[in-house]
């Protein structure tokens, strides 16, 4: 088994990868104050792994989580950064502030789907990453995530309450809460459809892949064909591990 770790802005997600199968996913909050060696040992108690690989968009957590995983596995952790060979051609992109989670997603998508491919990762932020027919990372977009957009509405408008997202029961809301919910969900779906239409005009045929926690809510609302892979980042980390071991 391989520990594959995605350190995000909200959660640190750890998946146990057995070949191409995700055996489990466990999560901890992205809390810099956590005693990470102790927390990880408790979370992964009784699970043996041959090693660990991680990607991170929270630099302050990369070291503590990596050291905790090293203590558990007894082996150095492969931290995917800009120097790590991934097989993805980044020559046309300024990588100074590129989140490695986007790279990892694209590595998995290239292994699983035909190009050109567009990956929408719907988490705290919604990121779009595009790889063209020749395997070149063309770039993408970063949009506010669904929860972030709703939090901004609630914070800046006195009469708009905090809400919890769930699957819509129709197209039009009939009260303030449902109007906010439907606006966020159908707005995200409309944005994806519009972006994909423009990408197809530029790149030709396109494989659209959705991943991330909010993708389960948005995908049923889309009027375009998509692939859905909830474990895309973990699978990409597994591919990178294989390429470096």
Q: Which residues are annotated as a binding site for K(+)?
A: 121
Catalytic residue among 31, 101, 132, 175: 101
> CB–CB of 80/208 below 8 Å?
no
Judge whether 105 counts as a catalytic residue.
no
- Token output for 61: 């957590």
Spatial contact of 112 and 229, defined as CB atoms under 8 Å apart: yes
Q: At 123, list the tokens.
A: 């988490």
Positions at the binding site for substrate = 99-102, 176
Cα 158 to chain centroid distance, Å, stands at: 32
56 — phi, psi (to 5°)? Answer: -145, 140
Hey, what are 221's tokens?
């609302």
Q: What is the rounded distance in angstroms from the CA atom of residue 153 to the CA atom of residue 189?
A: 18
Residues 6+ apart with CB under 8 A from 134: 89, 115
List binding-site positions for ATP.
6-13, 124
Q: Are 206 and 199 in contact (CB under 8 A)?
A: yes
Cβ(232)–Cβ(4) under 8 Å? no
Joined together, the tokens standing for residue 124 give 């705290």
Residue numbers in the known binding site are 6-13, 99-102, 121, 124, 176
Q: Which positions are annotated as active-site residues?
A: 101
């Amino acid at each position: 088994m391989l520990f594959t770790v995605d350190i995000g802005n909200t959660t640190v997600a750890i998946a146990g990868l057995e070949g191409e199968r995700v055996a489990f996913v466990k999560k901890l909050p992205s809390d810099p104050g956590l005693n990470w060696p102790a927390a990880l040992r408790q979370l992964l108690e009784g699970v043996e792994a041959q090693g660990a690989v991680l990607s991170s968009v929270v630099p302050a957590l990369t070291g503590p989580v990596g050291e905790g995983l090293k203590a558990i596995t007894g082996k150095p952790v492969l931290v995917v950064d800009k120097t790590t060979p991934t097989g993805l051609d980044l020559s046309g992109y300024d990588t100074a502030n590129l989140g490695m989670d986007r790279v990892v997603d694209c590595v998995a998508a290239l292994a699983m789907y035909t190009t050109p491919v567009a990956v929408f990762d719907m988490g705290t932020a919604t990121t779009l990453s595009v790889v063209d027919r020749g395997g070149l990372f063309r770039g993408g977009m970063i949009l506010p995530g669904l929860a972030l957009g709703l939090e901004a509405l609630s914070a800046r408008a006195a009469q708009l309450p905090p809400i919890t997202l769930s699957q819509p029961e129709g197209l039009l809301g009939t009260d303030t809460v449902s109007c906010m919910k439907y606006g966020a969900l159908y707005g995200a779906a409309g944005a994806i459809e519009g972006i994909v239409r423009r990408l197809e005009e530029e790149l030709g045929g396109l494989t659209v892949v959705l991943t991330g926690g909010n993708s389960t809510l948005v995908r049923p609302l889309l009027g375009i064909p998509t692939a859905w892979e909830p474990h895309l980042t973990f699978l990409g980390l597994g591919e990178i591990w294989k390429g470096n071991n």
